[in-house]
Amino acid sequence: MMLISLLLVLAIERSGVKTPHWHIEYYGTRYRSWLTDKGWLSEDSADWQVWLYLLLPALLLGFLESWLLGAFLTFVEQTLILFVCIGCPALRATYKHFLQAADRGDLEACAHYSDQLGHCEEPASEEQTAASREGKTFGQHLTWLNYQHYAAVILWFLAFGAPGALFYSVTRVVHEGFCREGTSQQSATARLLFALDFIPVRIVSFGMLMMGHFSRAFPLWLRYLSDFTVMPGRLLTEVAGQAEVLSPEEQSAQQANAAVEPKVLVRLAKRNILFLMAVTAVLTLTGLLP
């Protein structure tokens, strides 16, 4: 049933345009505002309280599935929740505008659209300076956001159903809101996201090296496999960069057209989603997934 839900959601998401009411950004933002208005979420909230509030919607959804819904209604509900959680219309629109600006050779517009992606970074270590983060290319940043809005949601859905996808998505949305506002709760949600991304980002990056240049990317992936200090975004973008290195012709073309690298990395991300779907199909056929 999970495979059918995934296929339906990805097909509909790719073929249509979502309104704001069909995206988790709308509900996650309103949920955070509701918690703040009630006084339950404030600058003085302990980390465990922030984590509990983020987990609460998933717990309620899990209770609803277990005690009130039958098999068919659960399938319908999981498909709807997954559709709400997956994808990012604003991200896709920004990417299209970036490609158009790059084709025109408008570097100023390219920089503008790159800023529109948002740069809410993970907590930096001592060696991960602001300069190094600013040097992240549009394609690398797009790869990370694609992971957050697609691959990570899929993996949490496969592991824990709709509650898992909801928990990850709400945490991401709330963290982005805290990051934009620079509130103290940002550190709590950042640590939670680090934990939530630890295993999925290694699975997704492994899929990328399987779909790209395995021999070049595997040593880097293996070095980061048990590294508890490397940030998920850094791991993913570095492995993706090794798995899909630009050819000399593409490097030359990149000088004249800034869209070359993003296109290459987006193709890798799409192949990786197909790889995840193929593995999901195999696990479903063998009975390891419902």
Give tens-digit pLDDT for 230-256: 999 999 999 998 888 766 666 666 666
What pLDDT, on a 0 to 100 scale, did the predictor assign at position 193?
95
What pLDDT, on a 0 to 100 scale, did the predictor assign at position 127?
41
Identify the segments of the chain with pLDDT beneath 70: 107, 118-136, 246-257
Which residue, 62, 14, 274, is CA-closest to 164? Answer: 62
The string of pLDDT tens digits covering residues 122-137 is 544 434 433 334 345 7
What pLDDT, on a 0 to 100 scale, did the predictor assign at position 134?
39
Give the whole-angstrom CA distance, residue 189 versus residue 32: 12
Contact present, 234 and 178 (Cβ < 8 Å): no
Three-class SS state of 17: coil
Give the whole-angstrom CA distance, residue 37 versus residue 145: 29
In the chain, % helix, strand, coil (3-state, to 5) comes to 80, 0, 20
* 114 Ramachandran zone, left/alpha/beta (phi>0; psi -120 to 50): alpha
What pLDDT, on a 0 to 100 scale, did the predictor assign at position 266?
85
How far lies 32's CA from each of 52, 142, 145, 290, in Å? 13, 26, 21, 32
What pLDDT, on a 0 to 100 scale, did the predictor assign at position 136?
58
What pLDDT, on a 0 to 100 scale, did the predictor assign at position 121?
55
Give the whole-angstrom CA distance, residue 132 versus residue 55: 33
Predicted model pTM: 0.89
What pLDDT, on a 0 to 100 scale, did the predictor assign at position 93?
78
